[in-house]
Amino acid sequence: MPKENGQTYNGIREHIKALKKAGLLIEVDRKINKDTEMHPLVRWQYRGGIAENERKAWLFSNVVDSKGRKYDIPVLVCGLAGSPAIYEIGIGCKLEETNAKWSTAIENPLSPEIINSKDAACHELIYQGADLNNGKGLDDLPIPISTPGWDNAPYTSSSHYITTDPNTGIQNMGNYRGQIKAPDRLGINTSTELRTGGYINWLSWKERGEKMPCAVVIGCAPVISYASVQKVPEGIDELEVAGALIGKPLQLVKALTIDIMVPADAEVVIEGFIDTEYLEPEAPFGESHGYVNLQEYNGFMDVTAITRKKNAVITSWVSQVAPSESSVIRRFSYESRNTSYLRDTLGIKTVVSVKAHEPLTSLHRVHAIIFKRDTPRTEIWRAMYGLASFRQSEGKWIIAVNEDIDGENADALFWAMAYRCKPQHDLEVIKHQDAGHGPRNLLDPEDASVLIDATLKGTFPPVSLPKKEFMENAAEIWNELGLPKLRKEAPWHGYDLGEWTEEFEHMAKLATESDYWQTGRNNAQHRRKDVTMNTEVRTLKENE
């Protein structure tokens, strides 16, 4: 576990030890069928009412398939982002520090350190040629079926495809699903609607009339996985960003059969060439947008070599319906990138953060932009238009709110929309947007973005919850009584939004001192017969 500049760099094995020490690892030694039992078992921690802070990583060491084949490689599921706490261990900082960490890493990528093949742990075992069809090909890897009953094969879900731009030589690393099609053939779906670097590189190789060299990493240091899902600007190598995240250059080694650099401590590396002339059917597969992706034509890779560590551990991400490991992995990197774009690139300094709604909607569809109070209306709209156009398909519903609103809480967003937004003034629809990552509608391929300004437009009465000091005192009593641990949900105490006067404060203080009779006597002195029920006192004072 090397250290440099105060940063700790965990490989996957050190990461597993850290998870175990933190009480965040479930070790399963009993026989588990990778094709029918593994993912359904882990799925229950997302669909069984288990609180987010109780979700764990799972390490399966006794893996079989439905034909009784036993595998000698353990599988780590939800080990990189089964919960935010697991993500914190992997990235090496608290969640509130991730925005700054990602921005710094993307702005200051670190060139890698190249080492010799003989020193690379990922080259401890090498299989190529006849080995690939004699039990040492893709069939030797315990790749689980993610959505039993729907998926048509095992799919690699934590597979980082490394490709190059043939014109510049710059590498790109993206995380794509890979269908296991044969011991020496792997599928690839680069999600064309997301304009991934792998797809852009594939188009360039296709234009040249050449097959695209590709290396697929399965099992690696957590920061490499986090970088693989980050939306970095084109022309930046994600492996250099990963190095910046840990504060030191990553060690890379040249692949054996293709001209691509791979992480030297990767658990498994699959090498080969992706055809650019032919495509073949791929899927059905349960996708991260929460629906089954039906069969479509996609790429395939002819495998030339598989290299791995002697005692490899592979990872498999739980994806499909959010929340999931896949959505947690993507969530913090997406939010950081979106926030940085609005605040740093567009220069809207009053943007506090951007929050992507995760449960069921899977991060791309619903966004909340959190603004400081009194942000000019023009800046609020510029930010919403900016986020809607940042990527090809991002933000079907974009909601602007103030700092007192919890952008991660759908109830809080609806609360702001219900009382701080007048649709006839505060709602805009942008037509002709890309439909994005989701089930495809053959009747209408276009979509739209709805922009909603749910920020405060003026002063408001206080939030009708007890003041902070009374809630905090009550929490102490709660704990004394031995009641279940509290999880604060904003708003958990009342606060002023601009319409609270000294007179109101005085009356409220009298009430908490059990001296409210004085207020009653004062009320009696202000009786009137020239007003109707529900007439606000402040309206009369304004006219007097």
Does residue 45 have a pLDDT over 90?
yes
- Per-residue model confidence as pLDDT tens digits over 135-154: 999 999 999 999 999 999 99
Asked if residues 3 and 9 have their Cβ atoms less than 8 Å apart, the reply is: yes
Asked if residues 433 and 390 have their Cβ atoms less than 8 Å apart, the reply is: no
- CATH 3.40.1670.10 fits domain 346-453: yes
CB proximity list for 111: less than 8 A, separation 6 or greater: 240, 243, 249
Q: What is the mean pLDDT of the chain?
A: 92
- Per-residue model confidence as pLDDT tens digits over 28-41: 999 999 999 999 99
DSSP 238-277: HHHHHHHHHTSPPEEEE-SSSS-EEETT-SEEEEEEE-SS
Average pLDDT for 486-490: 87
Rounded to whole angstroms, how far apart are CA atoms 448 and 398? 11
Average pLDDT for 320-344: 89
Higher pLDDT residue, 533 or 195? 533
Average pLDDT for 464-474: 92
C-alpha distances in angstroms, 356 versus 92, 396, 534? 22, 11, 41
Average pLDDT for 404-408: 94
The predicted pLDDT at position 292 comes to 86
Does residue 127 have a pLDDT over 70?
yes
The predicted pLDDT at position 7 comes to 38
The predicted pLDDT at position 10 comes to 76
CB proximity list for 315: less than 8 A, separation 6 or greater: 12, 75, 76, 77, 79, 80, 158, 218, 219, 225, 267
Given pLDDT bands bounded at 50, 70 and 90, which one contains residue 4? very low
- Strand-strand pairing, 280-282 and 314-316: unpaired
Rounded to whole angstroms, how far apart are CA atoms 159 and 268? 10
The predicted pLDDT at position 442 comes to 72
**Residue 213: what are its φ and ψ, rounded to 5°?**
-65, 145
Kindly give the interhelix angle for 502-512 and 517-524, rounded to the nearest 10 degrees.
130
Rounded to whole angstroms, how far apart are CA atoms 349 and 235? 26
Rounded to whole angstroms, how far apart are CA atoms 267 and 122? 6
- Strand-strand pairing, 261-263 and 212-218: unpaired
Given pLDDT bands bounded at 50, 70 and 90, which one contains residue 362? confident
Kindly give the residue spans of alpha helices, DSSP state H, lying in 270-409.
325-340, 377-390
The tokens for 289 are: 């947008």
Looking at this protein, which amino acid is placed at residue 445?
Answer: P
- Per-residue model confidence as pLDDT tens digits over 179-208: 999 999 999 998 765 568 899 999 999 999
The predicted pLDDT at position 544 comes to 57
Average pLDDT for 262-273: 97
The predicted pLDDT at position 41 comes to 96
The predicted pLDDT at position 465 comes to 86
Rounded to whole angstroms, how far apart are CA atoms 203 and 99? 32
Rounded to whole angstroms, how far apart are CA atoms 186 and 270? 9
Asked if residues 428 and 459 have their Cβ atoms less than 8 Å apart, the reply is: no
The predicted pLDDT at position 25 comes to 98
Does residue 466 have a pLDDT over 70?
yes
CB proximity list for 254: less than 8 A, separation 6 or greater: 114, 117, 260, 261, 262
Given pLDDT bands bounded at 50, 70 and 90, which one contains residue 531? very high
Q: Using alpha carbons, select from 354, 342, 458 the residue that is nearest to residue 408.
A: 354
- CATH 3.30.110.30 fits domain 3-316: no
Judged by average pLDDT, the poorest of 82-91, 165-174, 177-186, 384-393 is 384-393
The predicted pLDDT at position 135 comes to 95
Please say whether the dihedral angle defined by the alpha carbons of residues 176, 181, 183 and 184, taken in this order, is positive or negative: negative
Does residue 474 have a pLDDT over 50?
yes
Average pLDDT for 272-300: 92
Average pLDDT for 356-365: 87
Given pLDDT bands bounded at 50, 70 and 90, which one contains residue 513? very high
Average pLDDT for 69-88: 96
C-alpha distances in angstroms, 187 versus 77, 179, 196, 214, 272? 21, 5, 16, 12, 11
The predicted pLDDT at position 261 comes to 98
- Classify residue 483 by its DSSP letter: P
Domain ranges (residues) in the chain: 3-316, 346-453, 468-543
Asked if residues 85 and 21 have their Cβ atoms less than 8 Å apart, the reply is: no
Rounded to whole angstroms, how far apart are CA atoms 235 and 229? 15
- Per-residue model confidence as pLDDT tens digits over 415-456: 999 999 999 999 999 998 887 777 767 777 788 999 999 999
Does residue 541 have a pLDDT over 70?
no
Q: Using alpha carbons, select from 55, 22, 94 the residue that is nearest to residue 325.
A: 55
Asked if residues 292 and 179 have their Cβ atoms less than 8 Å apart, the reply is: no
Within a 10 A sphere around the Cβ of 180, how many other Cβ atoms?
A: 18
Given pLDDT bands bounded at 50, 70 and 90, which one contains residue 1? very low
Kindly give the interhelix angle for 98-107 and 238-246, rounded to the nearest 10 degrees.
130
Average pLDDT for 493-506: 93
Bin 520: left if φ > 0, else alpha if -120 < ψ < 50, else beta.
alpha
Within a 10 A sphere around the Cβ of 428, how many other Cβ atoms?
A: 14
Rounded to whole angstroms, how far apart are CA atoms 269 and 254? 11
Give the global pTM.
0.84
